[in-house]
Structure 1
Amino acid sequence: MSVSPTDPTSAPDTGERPLRILIGADTFAPDINGAARFAERLAAGLVQRGHDVHVSAPNQAYRRSKPHIEIIEGERMTLHRLPSVRWAPHDWLRFVWPWRSKHWARTVLDRVNPDVVHIQSHIVIGRGLARIARQRGIPVIATNHVMAENILEHTTMPDAVNRFITKHAWADAKRTFDMTRAVTTPTRRAADFLESTVAVQNVIPVSCGIDRSQYTPVIAPREKNRIVFVGRLTAEKQIDVILQAMTKLDPALDTTFDIVGGGDQRKQLENLANQLGLGDRVTFHGRTSDDELRMLLSRASLFVIASIAELQSIATMEAMASALPIVAADAVALPHLVHHGENGYLFEPGDADALAARLTDVLTAEPTEYARMQQASLDGVAIHDINRTLDTFEALYRDAPLPE
């Protein structure tokens, strides 16, 4: 028998019965990354709309926990935590043994008997759920958050082996996606990438979405020049490029750099900052509370991101909702959020000189120009409201026409 944290009779009267939804995620709270945060916000938003939400995700130890209620984003939902092991080259990543994925899929599906399954990756948990759900006639929706760069840096294997693994991993991804009712990914560019890489047709771009009311935009000049980055400290984020660019800024700008987030690159980046003479200008905050994060965003002058592997970037959307101009690498989906000369600037990935020039453009902008970029960020993030995202997924779950 399933554990139900919500009473369907208390759901808003929308004319549709509440659904029982099973979300399968290879990364979920307490993990801190874009895919986990999206799954958490999606699950919480669905609970708020009266649905009975269950999540299948790795446990924080190699043991299975009984289905239990957890509070995620302030909402009660049922978690089915599966035995997992930590991937040694990574500082927090855990995974379920792949050869056990179908077994656990059967176990969870037996307990939940959902109306629909929504997998957040095709790798392990999602792979097993897709196959068993299809056998049972349960519709599956798949969302892809994966880029090869997000994974290969942690394999510690030769490039030739990585290429072989990547080829077969994408082939297996196609087999999984072919079992679904619909495949989504956060942006049109990410959808184009998936269609060209995996040969999956009709991928639907659905923004990860954010609740803009949770952020505090302050449209006004800043008293100090503060740059901020939020995200995992991993190689594909190219934070070293930002540090190199910091050394090229005019000292008269007296610019500081706040780095928010943890990751396997932190120690190396701290050493690099000291080697570059930036020790007194760069602050590594590690993982912060939501309140601390919002404070750092609200006081910053601009948000910078040099990543080469973003399928959307929730952190960039949070910065936009905080009315920050953005300086971003012209890579993958970041140009979907950052429009050059409007709400900030793009630069050639890896080019520290170009990045320094674009940072200078923002930091030296006249007050009216700076305010214009701030407002452009606010205007640009409006279409990423979480309610639009929830409307779209509810329609996919019900096999109904998608909202415009």
Structure 2
Amino acid sequence: MRILMVTNSYAPYVGGIEKSIQSFAQYFREKGHSVLVIAPKSDKPVEDEQDVLRVSAINNFNDTNFPVTIPLPGEIRSRIKDFKPDIVHSHFPFIVGSTALRIAASREIPLVFTYHTMYERYIHYINADSERVKRFVRSVTKGYSNLCDKIIAPSRAVKSMLIGRGVKTPIVVIPSGIEVQQFKTGRGQNFRKNYGISEDCFLMGHIGRFAPEKNLDFLLSSVIKVLNNNPDACFLAVGDGPQRSQMEQKVKDHGVSGRVVFTGMLSGQQLYDAYDAMDLFAFASKTETQGMVLAEAMASGTPVAALNAPGVDDILEDGKNGLMVENENADSFAERIGEFLELPEDEKKAMRKCSEKTAERFSIDACSDSVLQQYSELCSFRKDTLTEKHQARWQNSMELIKAEWDIFRNYVSAAGMMFYTRQGRGKSGE
């Protein structure tokens, strides 16, 4: 098959979505399929990459470290004509998503959409954090989903949510997948030595973007309670983002900064080593559609303590591969971690083994094969077997979707102007 993947975020960014798309593309190519990725241009160095069409974008939009793609028809048309895709896989519904929609509609080929995240929970990045805008985002994503031929939901919770919002397109649950074997190569002892972390300390850890939607203030409050109750405990914070300075100040204010290590962003072997160095991975986000960092931790043999939230319950089994915290209460979270500390070593070992076994379900090979099966089924239908109702659905919806994109672009444009105005004032000292 000739597979076209369209995304608003890609390398050199190293988040879960970006890594997932890269891994899928690599696996598909290894299986003999041709893959072209449409992704935003980056203002950061990008290593040699295979079959990636970079399109215009505003990088580091609104200080988020993420781009806003502005695909221009001339950048895409000739490449798509030469590539001749059999199927389009969209990884984002807004702006670049409309490009995927137009390509699929004009070439009369199937369109698959992976619903990666709860988009309405990230609108604070465009200075539009209101219930009205949230309803608008939900409406657009529902409309977009209903124009696709298949939706991939990364967890059962997302599938249920989409059905509840009125999405009629068939939905299949397929996690984004991780390179399980890579996470088994961690060298935790070396990592601890390099960062001055005692071999004997109980090391809790967290890896991710330090941003408001990750619920890190709550997580840190819980961790601080554990540190205060356990002199031999430490905390490892891997990542970066707008809340880093706030987090560093908080541990300093509570007198535990000497037992908290901030490493900044890590990738590759350093990331695998960090996971392996931990005794327990702590997670409190409520906005995830799937627990990919939980799967990464488990692949490293590290059990997890996490709030019960969408995506988490697909992977975490309380008492088997980690601890599920039912209430968003710092005392409750700290108590559960304390329970783990008191477990006999043989029970901790059993948790580590169960964690590794759980992670196998999220291997990129298994998930990629499932996606390829969906592609094959969609492509097996001849173009002339599409029903009149299906064709009419595309034709009658194009104007509506165009109007919705225009409205959203206005939000983005306004937010961008506010951002650049703030930046300009900051430089002038006002």
What CA deviation, in whole Å up to 9, does each residue of 1:199-228 have, x standing for no partner?
34431100111222112289x9x7320011
- The CA deviation at 1:174 is 2.6
Distance 2:116 2:295 in 1: 16
**Counterpart in the other structure of 2:202:** 225
Distance 2:141 2:102 in 1: 12
Where structure 1 has 5 or more consecutive residues not aligned to the other structure, the ranges are: 1-18, 63-68
116-125 or 238-247, which moves further after superposition?
Answer: 238-247
- The CA deviation at 1:88 is 4.2
**Counterpart in the other structure of 1:376:** 354
1:346 aligns with 2:324: yes
1:113 aligns with 2:84: yes
1:240 aligns with 2:211: no
- The CA deviation at 1:47 is 1.7
Give the alignment partner of residue 50 of structure 1, picking from 32, 38, 48: 32
Q: Which protein is richer in helix relative to its size?
A: 2
1:322 aligns with 2:300: yes
Counterpart of 1:144, as a letter, is Y
Structure with the greater alpha carbon radius of gyration: 2
Q: Is the 8 A contact 1:131 1:179 kept in 2?
A: no
Q: SS of the counterpart of 2:235? A: strand
1:166 aligns with 2:134: yes
Give the alignment partner of residue 212 of structure 1, picking from 161, 180, 190: 180
Q: Percent identity?
A: 25
Please list, as runs of the form range in 1=range in 2, the aligned pairs for 1:136-175 lying within 5 A after superposition. Answer: 136-148=107-119, 150-157=121-128, 159=129, 162-175=130-143
- The CA deviation at 1:324 is 1.1
Q: SS of the counterpart of 2:88? A: strand
Q: Is the 8 A contact 1:339 1:345 kept in 2?
A: yes
38-47 or 106-115, which moves further after superposition?
Answer: 106-115
Distance 1:91 1:168 in 2: 21
Distance 1:149 1:172 in 2: 10
Give the alignment partner of residue 291 of structure 1, picking from 258, 269, 278: 269
Where structure 2 has 5 or more consecutive residues not aligned to the other structure, the ranges are: 189-198, 381-430
Q: SS of the counterpart of 1:303? A: strand
Distance 2:316 2:269 in 1: 25
**Counterpart in the other structure of 1:181:** 149
- The CA deviation at 1:308 is 0.7
Distance 2:310 2:327 in 1: 10
Q: Is the 8 A contact 2:301 2:355 kept in 1?
A: yes
Q: Is the 8 A contact 1:238 1:350 kept in 2?
A: no
1:39 aligns with 2:21: yes
Counterpart of 2:148, as a letter, is T
Counterpart of 2:336, as a letter, is R
**Counterpart in the other structure of 2:66:** 93
What CA deviation, in whole Å up to 9, does each residue of 1:101-157 have, x standing for no partner?
666554542342211111111112122211332222121111011213542231323
Normalization by structure 1: what TM-score?
0.84
Report the CA distance shift for 1:148/1:401 in structure 2 as closer, same or farther (over 3 A).
Answer: closer
Q: SS of the counterpart of 1:263? A: coil
**Counterpart in the other structure of 2:237:** 259
Q: State the number of aligned residues.
A: 368
Counterpart of 1:230, as a letter, is I
Normalization by structure 2: what TM-score?
0.79
CA RMSD of aligned residues (A): 2.6
- The CA deviation at 1:313 is 2.5
Distance 1:366 1:311 in 2: 33
Q: Is the 8 A contact 1:208 1:389 kept in 2?
A: yes
Counterpart of 2:80, as a letter, is L
Distance 2:72 2:140 in 1: 14
